[in-house]
Structure 1
Amino acid sequence: MGETIPIAVPRKGRPLESVLDRLADRLDVPELADDITSTLRHEKALTKGSIDPDEEDVYHRLADYSSVDDPTEPEYTLLRDDRAGKPRRIVFDSVTIPLTNIEGVPDDAAIQLVGREEPFRSLRTHEFALGFDSADLVLEEVVELRPEPLNRIADVNARINPADTDVQVVTGLGDTVYHTLLATPEVAPSSGSLDRDFLEAYEGPLCIEPRYERLVQAVLGTRTLDGVDFRYPDEDREEEAAIADAGLGVYLTVTGSTAREHGLLLGEQLFPSETVLLENTAETTDTVDLVRSLLNGGDLETELAVEP
């Protein structure tokens, strides 16, 4: 086999499933994508206790799932889950996908998906030229904080200082959920909208996940946050419940049903959270460029379109 381009990917969850969906579509490998997705969903359900455990222990299941002799078959590994008791959880490790019969790509080329806990950081340290990760992590790590808000995910690259990293965002995969402004009826404006303009005049507590503090500062702008006091949910407390106690907060929402169950009103969708294709511009080769173009494309229904 000729040149193999390693691509850093998440080990589990919605971002990995979005990557697999993209590869299934562009590389015509639906069976491989379905196999990995169904395996990891089954293991997640076992870890959460949603289904009864198999008779085989986790080590036997790991051996059954993984192929160490054929790199074109998926391999898995074990990690400690963050749930009570820190159970071992089977997660994705790697698989090699030949790039055959693809126009413009050498027939002996291939990509190797390599699981990483935080793929973005692996690109920052030049381990990979390409990778997929949540756009959130880019904001949490390297996007400059400014007084004015960050309104669009497409503007992220403009706030990355080249002196900090060679990594740039290429495109999003369209698996969009939103960081949404939530408030109790008592705190929400009686007239007008629950939006950034409301926050401009607001003073008081704003409940957020601690890991999103820098993201929220970038999205809202430091000027908007004058007079705002960040509050954080207690450990093991549901985020929406903590926001209801604080009166106002920002949290990821899909349908907003859980927020409504806690008596919260849904305000402005402040910023889209998407899985994004990332590139370390210092590590590109001709084959990397071809693979990036293959994974990108105008068929993506995404909040992000960096390249024409």
Structure 2
Amino acid sequence: MTETVRVAVPRKGRPLEAVLERFAAVAGADALADDVSSTLRYEKAITKGKTTPERDVYERLAAYSDLSDPHRPEYTLLRDDREGKPRRIVFDSVSVTIDGEGPRPSGSRPSADDGVTVELIGREEPFRALRTHEFGLGFDSADLVLEEVVTLGETGVESIADVNARIDPRDTDVRVVSGLGDTVYHTLLATPEVLPPGAELDREFVTDYEGPLCISPRYERLVEAVLGTRAIETVEFVYPDPAVEEEAAIADAGLGVYLTMTGSTAREHGLVVGDDLFPSETVLMENVAEAGPAAERLKSALTGADLETAIRP
């Protein structure tokens, strides 16, 4: 008999696309993933003023959603944070089925005995929805876990085992399960002048370093958690001016931490690309107090050994 598991997911952006790609891989939901991703990219272009729609927002919303079919995505309206607070169409919900016999062909319909029906429910803050026990499973950025619930220690965190070991069970029942592979790294960057001859730009270098360390203000606690409090005892956090590129600000400071994928922009600013400290990645999380047998089966399907991740169980 089919069991239903409600899963909290982001409403828009790359994290939602990563979730849909994972369900495309394990449930054959390729058409669904393409449909939602292309719709939201179009709506993002409208919100940013890059394209002009032929229909108003309510007409588009009615055209996108089909309430008669749970296997068709539904959308909703939110106020965007951009100037003028424009209305933005974002993901609301959809139903997907995963069985134990491998991926389902795109467009096929489940039978009554196909295992786990997954209701993907859009939330602005999926991580917080898990913390308040609204869901047993959900997806959100690994960064939020480090920023909000990981306790600081002398040594930094490098893996899921480190992250989960630093979560106080009295604070939350949420644990990180695995990453989805949509990886950008928090990376050490420095000017050649800061590095002594032959020195490696790694965690040990930061421990011995005295001086400014340029970071985005929102990542201060994350950087403390990743590097460890001992490594930052002799550094002074400085922050880039909003009008200046992060890489340029790090070049002025001499040392910094910034999100990088290839490091090409950093090198254009004359920076040395050092260690990847921690992946900024969409992660599957569970509230261990809420997970049941169906959620466990779903979790196993979503974290198969042949699926690409940066953060492993």
Instruction: Determine the C-alpha separation between the residues in 2 that align with 1:272 and 1:131.
Output: 18
Give me the TM-score of the superposition, normalised by structure 1.
0.91
Q: State the SS of the aligned residue for 2:44.
A: helix
Amino acid paired to 1:205 = P
Instruction: Determine the C-alpha separation between the residues in 1 that align with 2:100 and 2:216.
Output: 46
**Residues matched between the structures, number:** 304
Give the corresponding residue for 1:14.
14
Give the drift of 1:209: 1.5
**1:74-113 alignment runs, 5 A limit:** 74-99=73-98, 102=101, 106-107=113-114, 109-113=116-120
Give the drift of 1:146: 0.3
Answering whether residue 163 of structure 2 is matched by residue 164 of structure 1, we say no
**1:64-75 alignment runs, 5 A limit:** 64-75=63-74
Give the drift of 1:101: 7.2
Aligned mate of 2:246, from 232, 239, 242? 239
Per-residue CA deviation, residues 252-307 of structure 1 (Å, 9 max, x unaligned), is 1011122223332211111122211111111122222222222221112223332x
Amino acid paired to 1:61 = R
Amino acid paired to 2:23 = L
Give the corresponding residue for 2:207.
200
Give the corresponding residue for 1:298.
305
Question: What is the root-mean-square deviation of aligned Cα atoms in Å?
Answer: 2.1
Q: State the SS of the aligned residue for 1:266.
A: strand
Instruction: Determine the C-alpha separation between the residues in 2 that align with 1:296 and 1:101.
Output: 13
Instruction: Determine the C-alpha separation between the residues in 2 that align with 1:58 and 1:261.
Output: 41
**1:49-198 alignment runs, 5 A limit:** 49=49, 51-99=50-98, 102=101, 106-107=113-114, 109-198=116-205
Give me the TM-score of the superposition, normalised by structure 2.
0.90
Instruction: Determine the C-alpha separation between the residues in 1 that align with 2:198 and 2:153.
Output: 29
8 Å Cα contact 1:205-1:228 kept in structure 2: yes
Instruction: Determine the C-alpha separation between the residues in 1 that align with 2:289 and 2:309.
Output: 26
Q: State the SS of the aligned residue for 2:289.
A: helix
Amino acid paired to 1:8 = A
Give the corresponding residue for 2:44.
44
Amino acid paired to 1:11 = R
8 Å Cα contact 2:180-2:282 kept in structure 1: yes
User: Structure 1 residues 101 and 215 mapped into 2: Cα distance closer, same or farther (>3 Å)?
Assistant: closer
**1:258-277 alignment runs, 5 A limit:** 258-277=265-284
Give the corresponding residue for 1:26.
26
Give the drift of 1:106: 4.4
8 Å Cα contact 2:116-2:298 kept in structure 1: no
Aligned mate of 1:226, from 233, 240, 244? 233
Give the drift of 1:241: 2.6
Instruction: Determine the C-alpha separation between the residues in 1 that align with 2:77 and 2:244.
Output: 27
Instruction: Determine the C-alpha separation between the residues in 1 that align with 2:311 and 2:217.
Output: 25
8 Å Cα contact 1:153-1:271 kept in structure 2: no
Instruction: Determine the C-alpha separation between the residues in 2 that align with 1:100 and 1:228.
Output: 52
Instruction: Determine the C-alpha separation between the residues in 2 that align with 1:173 and 1:93.
Output: 21
Instruction: Determine the C-alpha separation between the residues in 1 that align with 2:286 and 2:21.
Output: 19
Instruction: Determine the C-alpha separation between the residues in 1 that align with 2:253 and 2:75.
Output: 41
Q: State the SS of the aligned residue for 1:241.
A: helix
Per-residue CA deviation, residues 95-140 of structure 1 (Å, 9 max, x unaligned), is 112346758x943741110111221111010000000111111111
8 Å Cα contact 1:132-1:275 kept in structure 2: yes
Aligned mate of 2:222, from 197, 215, 218? 215
8 Å Cα contact 2:160-2:176 kept in structure 1: no
Structure 1 stretch displaced more, 19-28 or 1-10: 1-10
Give the drift of 1:213: 1.1
Give the corresponding residue for 2:258.
251
Amino acid paired to 2:65 = S
Instruction: Determine the C-alpha separation between the residues in 1 that align with 2:76 and 2:126.
Output: 16
Amino acid paired to 2:209 = Y
Q: State the SS of the aligned residue for 1:250.
A: strand
Q: Extract unaligned runs of 5+ from structure 1.
A: none
